[in-house]
Structure 1
Amino acid sequence: MLSDDPETALTRLREAALALPEAEERPSHGQPTFFVADRQFAQFRHDHHGDGRTVVCVRTSGTDEQAALIEADPDRYSRPAYLGPAGWVALSLAGDVDWPQVDDRVAISWELAAPRGLLEASGR
């Protein structure tokens, strides 16, 4: 699905993120951000500090996974400002977006942020 409209991308991302158990959206640093148990698991960014990109920032298991994702697909993944040092990646939401991949990365990020009890209760 081609997505060069940031509002369309945000709407699609919002659907995926808010479908996860106990997920909520609120702004953080002026960006639409998704939380579970007060922990961020995804942040939408459009033209963040004038970078011209539309991305979702998500957690990884750490800097090794972050580096592997970026190395394997540098057109799709990058190291986001501010969140990058903590191992997060930015996943492009422009052009030919692989939405099942985005959904999967958002769900993995949710799992990395969610408390153990919620993971067990949701069957994850």
Structure 2
Amino acid sequence: MSEDPHPSKVDDADPHLARVRALCLALPDAAEKRSHGSPTFFTRKVFATFGGSRKGDHYSPIARHALLFLPDASEREALVEDERFFVPAYVGPSGWLGLSFHLVGGVDQVDWEEVGELIEMSYRLTAPASLVRELDERSAH
């Protein structure tokens, strides 16, 4: 991981982060770096971040303990209507959403299959076509 001059916003021992990290890094050519104090997952572009903020409230536990991702435009409206999701500061105007683990509960209360689908959706929207093809090839086997 590269060095980030910002203080860490999350506990590296957080079990939610461990599960998110495993899901993200299992994708083709995915890597992790710290950006603005948060673990960020990317290929050429960022596809997921653990922890963020809400407009006007940079310390909101709802956002600080969340997965930030880019949903498909066709899914966004339905997700926004679900109380577990929110529009994060900074990246929200670009279409990103957050899934608050603070609102969902403990690691055993999270639907990790759903989280994996959200991460994969964001990955597919941001990764190069060659990596999306590689992901499709993996899924076919």
Q: Classify the TM-score, shorter chain.
A: 0.7 to 0.9
Runs of 4+ in 1 over 3 A off after TM superposition: none
Larger Rg: 2
Tell me the C-alpha RMSD between the 2 structures: 1.9
- 2:80 corresponding residue in structure 1: 70
Q: Does 1:61 align with 2:67?
A: no
Residue 121 (structure 1) shift? 3.1
What one-letter code is carried by the residue in structure 1 that aligns with 2:127?
Answer: A
Identity among equivalent pairs (%) = 39
- 1:10 corresponding residue in structure 2: 17
TM-score (norm 2): 0.74
TM-score (norm 1): 0.83
What one-letter code is carried by the residue in structure 1 that aligns with 2:112?
Answer: W
Deviates more, 1:104-113 or 1:53-62: 53-62
Q: Does 1:79 align with 2:87?
A: yes
> Using the alignment, how far apart are the partners of 1:41 and 1:66 within structure 2?
15
Unaligned runs of 5+ in 1: 1-5
Q: Which has the higher strand share?
A: 1
Tell me the matched-pair count. 115
Unaligned runs of 5+ in 2: 1-12
Say which of 4, 7, 29 aligns to 1:22.
Answer: 29
Larger RCO, structures 1/2 (Cα 8 Å, 6+ apart) = 1
Residue 53 of structure 2 contacts residue 59 of structure 2 at CA under 8 Å; is this kept in 1?
yes
